[in-house]
Chains A and B, each alone.
Chain A
Amino acid sequence: MTNIPSLVLALAQKEPSDTFYTHAPEWTWLVVVYFFVGGIAGGSAFLGAMLDLFGAPQDRPIARLAYLVALPLITIGGPLLIWDLNRPERFWHMFIQSETGRPMFKYWSPISFGAWGVGAFGLFALLAGVGALAEMGLLPRALRALREGPLGKIISALAGLFGLFVAGYTGILLAATNRPLWADTSLLGLLFLLSSISAAAAALILLSWRRGHPGSLHWLSQMDAYSSVLELVTLIVIVVSLGSVVREVWGNGWGVLLAVGTVLLGILIPLALHFRPRLAGRMSLPGAAALVLIGAFVLRAVVVLSSEAV
């Protein structure tokens, strides 16, 4: 009968992957930063929509804040992607067939449906963000309609759904290659999604921990903890299932960085602070949140750059 240690040993001794015969696409720091800001933007919109649609009136300020985080971050993310192209002046070829003028959409290509998904998310993040600014009295009163009634709920729901898409598709985009690590697991989408929700909750906590309603902050902290636990489990499953690929890609400084930066600083210590808030007193909440953000950034940097380095 196969026991767990022998299964782990068998996985670790798997034949080298066929992904080691490929070239790196040179997706580097611009992509890492995009994955980070795009993930927080998408996760924020999801959390904002949850509070908007199912929360209490006391959650309204945090929901507003969530959209006001999502909008600028995705506004930064789009140009980062364009800047990363070798021919940025042709970025519109992602959306329009340059020779025929027809829409360019390939649902089976993550980078193609990703471009459309980011565009759609940008639109709903803009509507929700404008509504939030109007609600705060910074834009004409008429624009409050974007946050009220059925229209407001539809905008929130779509911003949240497209936000979830943006939070997770980046991992699937990496998996839809033939590169070491990226293509050796199909769990990167899930990993990035969970990390994005965790990082978004952390960002919202950091921005509101002094003035936010305790009930809203508690819920955000809970979401952060849930997603961190699931993220840790997903990461462990990835490491075990990768077998010998782990040795090749993470059996070096990248692996150390992942273990220290993401697992220890970004997941374990924040979870300890969540369950034992007295450890750092009043600074437990913001301290844990700051560490989660560091961990989320390190995770993306390690996943992207360690494969690029092979």
Chain B
Amino acid sequence: MAQTAQGTPAASAQGSPSTENFPAGTPVIVEGTPALGGSPMPGGSPPPPGTPVGAMVGTPAALPSPADNTAAFPAAVPFDAVPMGFYTDTTVCIGCKACEVACKEWNGLSSYNGGVNLLSGDSYDNTRRLDGEHWRHVKFIEQFDDTSQGRQGRWLMMSDVCKHCVHAGCMEVCPTGAIIRTEFDTVVIQSDVCNGCRACIGACPFGVIEINPTNKTAMKCTLCYDRMQAGLTPACAQACPTASIQFGAIDDLKRSAQQRLEQLQGLGETRAQLYGADDKIVGGLNSFYLLVDEPEVYGLPAAPKLPSRNVPTGGLMSTAGAVAMGVLGLVGLRKRRMDQFAAERAGAEDGTTRRDEEVTGD
């Protein structure tokens, strides 16, 4: 069932630039299920009594109260329209890929995998990247010192997903308005509006978006917008068995992440750092990470930028070039005319002199 989301309420709450969005008051229709018509799975139902909500942080409005637990299936309470997202603590990821599976099941994504059904040979990673039919991707980074014959080293595992940037590059360039910001400050592609121009693919600084081979539109994680509208935790966070993927209000998640960071640093893990929790990276990421190495090691850009950064300079330089060529063209035409006049005058004077000579000769 389609629902209407007005403009960009959450974006303004986060201070997103108005240039990212539609003019004020422009209604934007958001499909209730932006994915491929995914059907509910058991994991999508409200948890039965006594089941821990697991990877949800804060958001008291969404958490079942003790009174709710007395009901057989407590009704989910819709979330408040505040910025919400994911905090991924990579230190507790065990690489089980339950998030990948839950995402595919809930969103009805195929396992076509670009037609490749072979083992990649790249550690335990066979999907290899985020794209139109892989909205979650668990990265496996093996850090082993060859000289120690495998005795020293570590695994880094990270469940990657769309970052739902506060300043979203994909949304900036989308020419059809298919990419919108929801009331939860998340970024959603409306697949019934997208015409597959693929501008968003090159614009995303994280390499998240691709064309889905089934419906031939650009697709990515919606942060389970359909589930959020019903007050449910996104499928991946609900399925994560170690709470590596935590879902909740961004402010609560940031507090939780900061505590964990201090805990790790206190234990001597000096490389621990938060990625995207502040506004230094494209205004902040509504899906941010706790890492224990440099971002590049996880395949994340250290300083991602917005695609619009080149437009003012590029426009200015092109305009200057156009003016220069116009002036050169005018100078060329003027010089040609002056040469013509000079030639005509010389011809006329020549003719007069000749006439004078003829007259004198007479």
Contact yes or no, B27 A18, CB < 8 A: no
Interface positions, chain B 290-317, Cβ under 8 Å from A, are: 299-305, 307-311, 313-315, 317
B270 surroundings in chain A (CB, below 8 A): none
B131 surroundings in chain A (CB, below 8 A): 23
Give CA–CA (A242, B168) in the complex, Å.
Answer: 25
B286 to chain A, nearest CB (A): 18
The interface bits of chain B over 188-207 (1 if a CB of A lies within 8 angstroms of the residue's CB, else 0) are 00001111111101111111
A187 close to B (CB within 8 Å) = yes
Contact yes or no, A24 B201, CB < 8 A: yes
B26 close to A (CB within 8 Å) = yes
Partner of A172, one of B202, B304, B305, B314: B314
A22 surroundings in chain B (CB, below 8 A): 202, 204-207
Partner of B202, one of A46, A179, A197: A179
Contact yes or no, A94 B175, CB < 8 A: yes
> Which of B75-83, B252-260, B327-335 lies on the face that meets chain A?
B327-335
Give CA–CA (A54, B333) in the complex, Å.
Answer: 7
A296 close to B (CB within 8 Å) = no
A289 close to B (CB within 8 Å) = no
B336 close to A (CB within 8 Å) = yes
A222 close to B (CB within 8 Å) = yes
Contact yes or no, B321 A112, CB < 8 A: no
> Which of A71-79, A129-137, A188-196 lies on the face that meets chain B?
A188-196
B interface residue count range (under 10 / 10 to 19 / 20 to 34 / 35 or more):
35 or more
A171 to chain B, nearest CB (A): 7
Contact yes or no, A104 B175, CB < 8 A: yes
A182 surroundings in chain B (CB, below 8 A): 202
Beyond A23-B201, A87-B195, whether A176 also contacts B308 by CB under 8 A is yes
Beyond A189-B315, A190-B317, whether A18 also contacts B302 by CB under 8 A is yes
Contact yes or no, A172 B318, CB < 8 A: yes
Give CA–CA (A22, B307) in the complex, Å.
Answer: 12
Partner of B307, one of A18, A176, A189: A176
Of all chain B residues, which has the CB nearest A98?
B193
A85 close to B (CB within 8 Å) = yes
B322 close to A (CB within 8 Å) = yes
The interface bits of chain B over 325-346 (1 if a CB of A lies within 8 angstroms of the residue's CB, else 0) are 1101110110011001000000
Contact yes or no, A168 B198, CB < 8 A: no
A110 surroundings in chain B (CB, below 8 A): 173, 311
Give CA–CA (A169, B319) in the complex, Å.
Answer: 10
> Which of A140-148, A223-231, A263-271 lies on the face that meets chain B?
A223-231
Contact yes or no, A111 B195, CB < 8 A: no
A19 surroundings in chain B (CB, below 8 A): 205
Contact yes or no, B318 A111, CB < 8 A: no
A91 to chain B, nearest CB (A): 6
Contact yes or no, B314 A188, CB < 8 A: yes
A100 close to B (CB within 8 Å) = yes
A284 close to B (CB within 8 Å) = no
A204 close to B (CB within 8 Å) = no
A111 surroundings in chain B (CB, below 8 A): 173, 175, 197, 199
Beyond A85-B196, A100-B26, A187-B317, whether A18 also contacts B216 by CB under 8 A is no
Give CA–CA (A197, B325) in the complex, Å.
Answer: 9
B123 close to A (CB within 8 Å) = no
Give CA–CA (A87, B189) in the complex, Å.
Answer: 15
Give CA–CA (A111, B217) in the complex, Å.
Answer: 17
The interface bits of chain B over 82-110 (1 if a CB of A lies within 8 angstroms of the residue's CB, else 0) are 00000000000000000000000000000
Partner of A21, one of B172, B192, B207, B320: B207
B303 surroundings in chain A (CB, below 8 A): 18
Of all chain B residues, which has the CB nearest A92?
B195
A115 surroundings in chain B (CB, below 8 A): 175
Give CA–CA (A64, B197) in the complex, Å.
Answer: 34
B210 close to A (CB within 8 Å) = yes
B336 surroundings in chain A (CB, below 8 A): 56, 215, 218-219
Most chain-B Cβ atoms within 10 A of its Cβ — which of A84, A90, A99, A178? A178
Contact yes or no, B176 A177, CB < 8 A: no
A88 surroundings in chain B (CB, below 8 A): 195
A281 close to B (CB within 8 Å) = no
Of all chain B residues, which has the CB nearest A179?
B202
Contact yes or no, B175 A194, CB < 8 A: no
Contact yes or no, B198 A172, CB < 8 A: no
Most chain-A Cβ atoms within 10 A of its Cβ — which of B27, B176, B210, B311? B176
A195 to chain B, nearest CB (A): 10
B178 close to A (CB within 8 Å) = yes
A87 surroundings in chain B (CB, below 8 A): 194-196, 216-217
Given A23-B202, A109-B199, A222-B332, 16 more contacts at CB 8 Å? A26-B211, A86-B195, A90-B196, A94-B197, A111-B197, A176-B308, A177-B203, A177-B307, A178-B169, A185-B310, A186-B314, A189-B315, A190-B321, A219-B336, A222-B328, A230-B324
Q: What are 17 A-B pairs at a CB distance below 8 A? A: A18-B205, A23-B129, A25-B199, A50-B333, A56-B336, A56-B337, A86-B197, A86-B211, A93-B176, A98-B193, A100-B26, A106-B174, A176-B308, A178-B204, A186-B313, A189-B315, A190-B314
Listed in ascending order, the chain A residues whose CB lies under 8 Å from chain B are 18-19, 21-27, 46-47, 50-51, 54-56, 84-88, 90-91, 93-94, 97-100, 102, 104, 106, 108-112, 115, 164, 168-169, 171-172, 175-179, 182-183, 185-190, 193-194, 197, 215, 218-219, 222-223, 226-227, 230, 234
Shortest 5 CB-CB distances between A and B: which pairs? A86-B196, A177-B202, A90-B195, A18-B301, A112-B175
